Structure 1
């Protein structure tokens, strides 16, 4: 039985959404195609009908996760400056730290990307640079004496690493984990002219 174009598109979207969530929860290498297909309510044969490889799916799933994170950063209108204060409150919250399947795809996968292929790396890099642009623009206005490009790159890298470290320590030392998030907020506020006024 032939699947309609609409159903085919829906199946593809379900696979990407399921993979995006599972990759954030368990890592790219920690999830097999059978588990992704099951999460999407499809067979693994359906997965290979849409993607030539798990890596191709990973690149698209990562792009979706990064797109969702950047929507949280930029909001509804790309013409308006992002509310970095609200974004930092969200990004560095304990609630989001504990939301492995729904929070930042970069914090969930940064350590894995170096072991993936070029397409996955390119998807990660594109999402990272999109986030960096918001911080560069703010630094350029708030701290014009600084190199906004290098400062933006470093701030976003620190945020990603900070969330990863907070997650890594949360189970054995929740107080330390929370302190990492608080310290990251203070560091970013000071280094980028960000945060609460």
Structure 2
């Protein structure tokens, strides 16, 4: 049975959204295709109508989630207050505690290393994010905005990874606070 193109596209989008959440929450290998399809309220059967493999889903899911992050950065204003708002949002307890809707870079970078099909989307969007940040609000007059963007993203993502990894809530908060202070 054929479905209208709009319905097929909506189902595809729903699969991507659910896969992206589950991958960020449980890791690329911590979730199965049937679990993703169930979360998308679909049966396992039509998965291969949308994706050639789980690796293809992983790559498209990363493309989807990082593309959304890039669009959010592009939509941010170009001011010191916009920079602070961006950093406050990223380096927040809410972001730390909600991995399923958090940053793909902080949630999955260590797994993308071992997933070659995902590297292209990850690389392309990281380059876009660095470009958007350097043109948006990273110019401090201290030199190369691209280098500043690389340092900023590295510190943000590293801080989020560490804040999520420790079992000491006070230390986790301190990591976020000190990273934010170092970037403002």
Given that 1:34 and 1:44 are in contact with CA atoms closer than 8 Å, whether structure 2 keeps it comes out as: yes
Matching residue of 2:91: 92
Aligned residue for 2:2, secondary structure, equals coil
Q: How far apart are the structure 2 equivalents of 1:147 and 1:75?
A: 23
Q: How far apart are the structure 1 equivalents of 2:32 and 2:53?
A: 11
Aligned length: 181
Shift in Å, 1:69: 2.2
Shift in Å, 1:154: 2.1
Matching residue of 1:16: 16
Q: How far apart are the structure 2 equivalents of 1:24 and 1:48?
A: 22
Shift in Å, 1:110: 1.0
Matching residue of 1:56: 56
Does residue 175 (structure 1) correspond to residue 170 (structure 2)? The answer is yes
Q: 1:142/1:22 Cα in 2 relative to 1: closer, same or farther (>3 Å)?
A: same
Aligned residue for 1:45, secondary structure, equals coil
CA deviations 1:83-102 (Å, max 9, x no partner) are 22111111011011101111
Aligned equivalent of 1:121, options 114, 119, 122: 119
Spell out the pairing of 1:42-53 with structure 2 (5 A cutoff): 42-53=42-53
CA deviations 1:22-44 (Å, max 9, x no partner) are 11111111111111111111122
Higher relative contact order (CA 8 A, sep 6+): 2
Spell out the pairing of 1:63-78 with structure 2 (5 A cutoff): 63-75=63-75
CA deviations 1:87-138 (Å, max 9, x no partner) are 1111011011101111111111011110002x31111112222221233233
Spell out the pairing of 1:95-174 with structure 2 (5 A cutoff): 95-117=94-116, 119-137=117-135, 138-139=137-138, 141-143=139-141, 145-169=142-166, 172-174=167-169
Structure 1: tracts of 5 or more residues without a match? 190-197
What TM-score, normalized to structure 2?
Answer: 0.90
Q: How far apart are the structure 2 equivalents of 1:135 and 1:72?
A: 11
What TM-score, normalized to structure 1?
Answer: 0.85
Q: How far apart are the structure 1 equivalents of 2:151 and 2:174?
A: 20
Spell out the pairing of 1:22-33 with structure 2 (5 A cutoff): 22-33=22-33
Q: CA RMSD in A?
A: 1.7
Structure 2: tracts of 5 or more residues without a match? none
